[in-house]
Amino acid sequence: MKIEYRPPSPEEYRSLREAVGWWPIEQTFTEQALRRALFSVVGIQDGRVVGVGRVVGDGGLYYYLQDVMVIPSCQGQGIGKEIISHLMTYIQENAPKGAFVGLMAAKGLQTYYEGFGFQARAIDAPGMFQVVR
For residues 84 and 81, what is the distance between their CA atoms, to the nearest angstrom? 5
12 Cβ neighbours under 8 A, 6+ residues apart: 42, 49, 52
pLDDT digits (tens, 9 = 90+) for 111-126: 999 999 999 988 898 8
For residues 112 and 117, what is the distance between their CA atoms, to the nearest angstrom? 10
CATH number 3.40.630.30 given to 2-114: yes
For residues 47 and 49, what is the distance between their CA atoms, to the nearest angstrom? 7
Query: What is this structure's pTM?
Result: 0.92
pLDDT digits (tens, 9 = 90+) for 37-64: 999 999 999 999 999 999 999 999 999 9
